Structure 1
Amino acid sequence: MTEEKQIVVTRVIDAPAEQIFDVLTDPARHQEFDGSGMIVSAEANIPRLQAVGEKFSMNMHHESQGGDYQMENEVVSIVVNELIAWAPARPGEEPPGWKWIYLLASRGPNTTRVVLTYDWENVTDEEIAANLPAIPAEALEESLNRLAAVFA
């Protein structure tokens, strides 16, 4: 038996892939579709994400993390209007191995299938791995619901 190390949720959103990609690549808008409720805000003046290796910081809050804290996300995959993925880490540290992946598949001029994956298969630290997944599937589903609401 293999242990599943990712959560995958899917939703069809009534918006073109280009518009959804625009929202996903704008860190200032991430709080709008965060279903976990942990994102407080993006750091000011973060440009639109365009390339692998770019980093963006998010101000976060969660009681299990001691209240307020910050995460620095590094873009690990990006294909315009199709895919964006980032790996979070504490500022100045290497990502511990989990990542967020948004895959977009156009289903016509105004409809897009969005697949959101929370993947921790590359986490090697046993202490971190023991606490994953940190975000439940319901929060990922809520993220897609909130992303859909952006276009309602």
Structure 2
Amino acid sequence: MSNDQTQLTVTRTVDAPAKDVFAVLTLPARHSEFDGSGTVRAADDTERITASGQKFVMNMHADHMGGDYRTHNFVTAYDENKMLGWQPAPEEDGIAPEGPLGWEWLYTLTPQGSDATEVALTYDWSGVDDKELLQQVGFPAIPREALEESLNLLAATVTKG
């Protein structure tokens, strides 16, 4: 991978309507079910995401982040049954961040007939301009294979209901 790459995108067809996929994506309490990276533990927030500008908090674990931590996720994209995106920011010493730090998770849904949806998952760190953070995290912190596994798990989660 070249050092100038700033995003990864993977796609997969899910055998479910876009509204069913979107229903799972917009419930933070279900995010651990389709996390292929193994970092998402549980959501503090159980309310459904309904608009850009909202925030939800997740309990996480990653060695490169020092173990257990919490992220505040700022919803940056919301288009019902079509798109959902957020930018996370970890808490520091129990203090909530004022805003995101520049990387984004974006799910784009494209119907493929009435019972299938192409789901694209983009992990984009092009907005990270803090050189120390770039070095600390070592983007991409989550490899392509984990993104692909996230879509596989999402498909399984959506089809089981």
1:67-125 per-residue CA deviation (whole Å, 9 max, x = no partner) reads: 11100101001000000000000232221100000000000111000000000111100
What is the total number of aligned residue pairs between the two structures? 151
Gap regions ≥5 residues in structure 1: none
Deviates more, 1:129-138 or 1:70-79: 129-138
Instruction: State TM-score, norm by structure 1.
Output: 0.95
- Superposition deviation, residue 129 in structure 1: 2.1
Q: How does 1:1-152 map to 2 (within 5 A)?
A: 3-44=4-45, 46-91=46-91, 92-93=96-97, 94-130=99-135, 131-150=138-157, 151-152=159-160
- Superposition deviation, residue 3 in structure 1: 1.6
Secondary structure at the residue paired with 1:77?
strand
Cα separation, 2, equivalents of 1:149 and 1:127: 37
- Superposition deviation, residue 60 in structure 1: 0.5
Cα separation, 2, equivalents of 1:127 and 1:2: 16
Identity %: 49
Task: Label 1:2 to 1:135 Cα distance change in 2 as closer, same or farther (>3 A).
Answer: closer
Cα separation, 2, equivalents of 1:105 and 1:111: 9
Partner AA of 2:141 in structure 1: A
- Superposition deviation, residue 63 in structure 1: 2.0
Cα-Cα RMSD? 1.4
Runs of 4+ displaced beyond 3 Å: none
Cα separation, 2, equivalents of 1:2 and 1:142: 24
Gap regions ≥5 residues in structure 2: none
